């Protein structure tokens, strides 16, 4: 499936609605993610950004609507087929979600090791090559997630997501809890990963500096729906009150 500009649509969300009991969280969400595009989703805490991501990756089922990944309808798809599609995605969760009982190198190569039957030596080398790109040193590989700082855990989670060079990356607040320098490093990595592998990314973030650095397109979720969308440049000039509030909290011009 392609659009007018001959760009392939990687993810397409149509009329997505999701409620928990009687509380509506998302209402009539529509957007497309094109090949090679980096999309940032912004919104206040509790606005349903993570719920949207969980619907896309099949951890939650929408009440209504359609979610297509590479033109395959994910809603009500057979679990085994869905799992194969998810294998081509790199995902980080808000809390990192590293496996406590595994060493960091095992966490990083978890998906690839099972898929490609790597030896321990090869798997460790692969993990090392990835963490170096994230500014981590080799010592953390043999440690467990509980033995490294929160910021390091975040980077190990990102390393796990990008291991195997997936074409679609989904990040839930990848720079939260990181110092500005490391946050900037992660942003550059997201941007370069998208460019290098010709992939696409969706990043959920509150960090406007991060949005300006990584996004080609921004959507704002407010009052259960997409209340604004545009480029980062358009965002800076927007009259939308919510966008203005977000911008006021930081000065993204500094980060261009």
Residue ranges binding another protein (CB under 8 A):
54, 57-59, 83, 86-87, 89, 91, 93-95, 97-100, 110-111, 114-115, 160
Among residues 95, 90, 207, 100, the alpha carbon closest in space to that of 150 is found at 95
DSSP string, 32-91: EEETT-EEEEEE-TTSSHHHHHHHHTTSS--SEEEEEETTEE-TT--HHHHHHHHTTEEE
* Shortest Å, Cβ 54 to another protein: 8
Query: What is the rounded distance in angstroms from the CA atom of residue 156 to the CA atom of residue 151?
Result: 9
Query: What is the rounded distance in angstroms from the CA atom of residue 174 to the CA atom of residue 92?
Result: 7
DSSP classification of residue 220: E
* Shortest Å, Cβ 33 to another protein: 17
Instruction: Answer for the pair 250, 42: CB distance below 8 angstroms, yes or no.
Output: no
Query: What is the rounded distance in angstroms from the CA atom of residue 215 to the CA atom of residue 44?
Result: 18
15 vs 114 by CB, closer to another protein = 114
Instruction: Answer for the pair 52, 41: CB distance below 8 angstroms, yes or no.
Output: yes
Instruction: Answer for the pair 204, 53: CB distance below 8 angstroms, yes or no.
Output: yes
Residues in the chain, overall count: 256
6 vs 21 by CB, closer to another protein = 21
* Shortest Å, Cβ 248 to another protein: 31
* Shortest Å, Cβ 137 to another protein: 24
73 vs 116 by CB, closer to another protein = 116
32 vs 54 by CB, closer to another protein = 54
* Shortest Å, Cβ 18 to another protein: 16
Category of 154 on φ-ψ map: left (φ > 0), alpha (ψ -120 to 50) or beta: alpha
* Shortest Å, Cβ 158 to another protein: 13
Query: What is the rounded distance in angstroms from the CA atom of residue 173 to the CA atom of residue 238?
Result: 23
* Shortest Å, Cβ 161 to another protein: 9
114 vs 129 by CB, closer to another protein = 114
111 vs 242 by CB, closer to another protein = 111
93 vs 228 by CB, closer to another protein = 93
């Amino acid at each position: 499936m392609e659009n007018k500009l001959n760009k392939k649509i990687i993810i397409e969300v149509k009329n997505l609605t999701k409620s928990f009991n009687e509380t509506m969280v998302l209402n009539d969400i529509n957007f497309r993610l094109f090949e090679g595009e980096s999309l940032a989703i912004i919104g206040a805490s509790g606005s349903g950004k993570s719920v949207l991501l969980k619907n896309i990756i099949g951890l939650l089922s929408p009440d209504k609507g359609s979610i297509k990944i590479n033109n395959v309808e994910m809603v009500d798809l057979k679990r085994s087929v869905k799992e194969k599609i998810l294998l081509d995605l790199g995902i980080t969760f808000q809390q990192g979600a590293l496996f406590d009982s595994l060493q960091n190198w095992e966490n990083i190569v978890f998906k690839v090791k099972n898929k490609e039957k790597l030896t321990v030596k090869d798997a460790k080398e692969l993990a090392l090559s990835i963490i170096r790109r994230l500014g981590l040193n080799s010592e953390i590989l043999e440690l467990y997630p509980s033995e490294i700082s929160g910021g390091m855990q975040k980077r190990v989670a990102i390393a796990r997501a990008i291991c195997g060079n997936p074409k679609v990356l989904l990040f839930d607040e990848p720079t939260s809890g990181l110092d500005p320098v490391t946050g900037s490093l992660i942003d550059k990595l997201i941007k370069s990963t998208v460019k290098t592998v010709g992939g696409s990314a969706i990043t959920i973030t509150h960090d406007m500096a991060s949005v300006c650095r990584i996004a080609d397109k921004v959507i704002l979720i407010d009052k259960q729906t997409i209340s604004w969308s545009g480029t980062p440049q358009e965002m800076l000039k927007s009259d939308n009150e919510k966008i203005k509030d977000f911008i006021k909290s930081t000065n993204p011009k500094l980060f261009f």
